[in-house]
Amino acid sequence: MIRYFDWTWLILIPGILFSLYAQSKINKNYSVYSRVPCKSGISGSEAARRIMQTNGISDVSIEHVGGELSDHYDPRSKTVRLSDGVFDAASVASVAIAAHEIGHVIQHQQGYFPLKFRNAIVPLTSLTSRMAWPIFIIGIILASFNFGYAGIIMDIGIVCYAIALIFYVITLPVEFNASSRAIAQLTECGIITEGEREGAKKVLGAAAMTYVASTLATFLSLFRMIAIRGRR
Ligand SMILES: [Zn+2]
């Protein structure tokens, strides 16, 4: 069976390299700009509160969560969770990340279509992403026994994976849009100065790269499945 896999691993290499690059870029930018204090002296949680206030949002709570870069917005419980290095820290990186999460809050409140679409497909894509490889591998095994429908089973696995890819693709506009909202709000609310804007943009731009990397890796995995299928 191993012969069905061999060279197709190579297809994944650009995705792995790009993921490593994106990860090192966010780590570097985060470590640089979390040491640059913002002149306003506003912490991540204060920045989040101020942006929500300015936008008339009062039904979202802000909590502290452990870990590094574990910040997120949970639309179901309407809670923004800010990590250790963001919650109390008054740095260019911490306010940028906090503002990005509030960008998601504003998207949610305004019914921003890509976010609505993404939330709607999550149950489907999480199911198909779990099923795709097991189905595909069953297809490969059956193919090695010359089972007549093996090709169709492999195709079903590919379709499942393609559906899972939609989640990654739709995440890109959601993330880029949250970051551009964040930069605008940080300036409008007087949280960062004109001079601090570049740093905030770099942190959020690097964070967005990690989503591009995940999308690329998923796309290449799909491509690899198709390559394996093509050899059957
Ligand atoms: Zn985000």
**pLDDT tens figures, 28-85:** 999 999 999 999 999 999 999 999 999 999 999 999 999 999 999 999 999 999 999 9
User: For the chain, how many helices (H) and strands (E)?
Assistant: 7, 3
Q: What count of residues does the chain have?
A: 232
Half-sphere exposure of 119 (CA within 13 A, CB side): 13
* Location of structure tokens 């390299």: 17
- Model confidence, pTM: 0.91
Q: Output the CA 17–ligand 1 centroid distance in Å.
A: 22
Q: From start to end of the chain, where are the E strands?
A: 61-64, 72-74, 79-82
In angstroms, how far is CA 165 from the centroid of its own chain? 13
Catalytic-role residue among 46, 101, 175, 196: 101
**Strand order, beta sheet including 72-74:** 61-64, 79-82, 72-74
Q: From start to end of 72-189, where are the E strands?
A: 72-74, 79-82
Please report the pLDDT score of residue 220 as a whole number: 97
Count of structural domains, the chain: 1
Active-site residue flag, 101: yes
Q: Check if the beta carbon of residue 142 is closer than 8 Å to that of residue 111.
A: no
User: Which of 3, 4, 98 is CA-nearest to residue 43?
Assistant: 98
- Domain span holding position 59: 2-230
Please report the pLDDT score of residue 3 as a whole number: 55
Q: Output the CA 175–ligand 1 centroid distance in Å.
A: 5
CA gap 25, 205 in Å, rounded: 9
Q: Output the CA 132–ligand 1 centroid distance in Å.
A: 26
CA gap 203, 209 in Å, rounded: 10
* Location of structure tokens 């911490």: 94
Q: Output the CA 1–ligand 1 centroid distance in Å.
A: 40
Please report the pLDDT score of residue 120 as a whole number: 94
Residue 6: pLDDT band with limits 50, 70, 90: confident
CA gap 114, 229 in Å, rounded: 32
Q: Output the CA 104–ligand 1 centroid distance in Å.
A: 7
Each residue's pLDDT tens digit, 119-177: 999 999 999 999 999 999 999 999 999 888 999 999 999 999 999 999 999 999 999 99
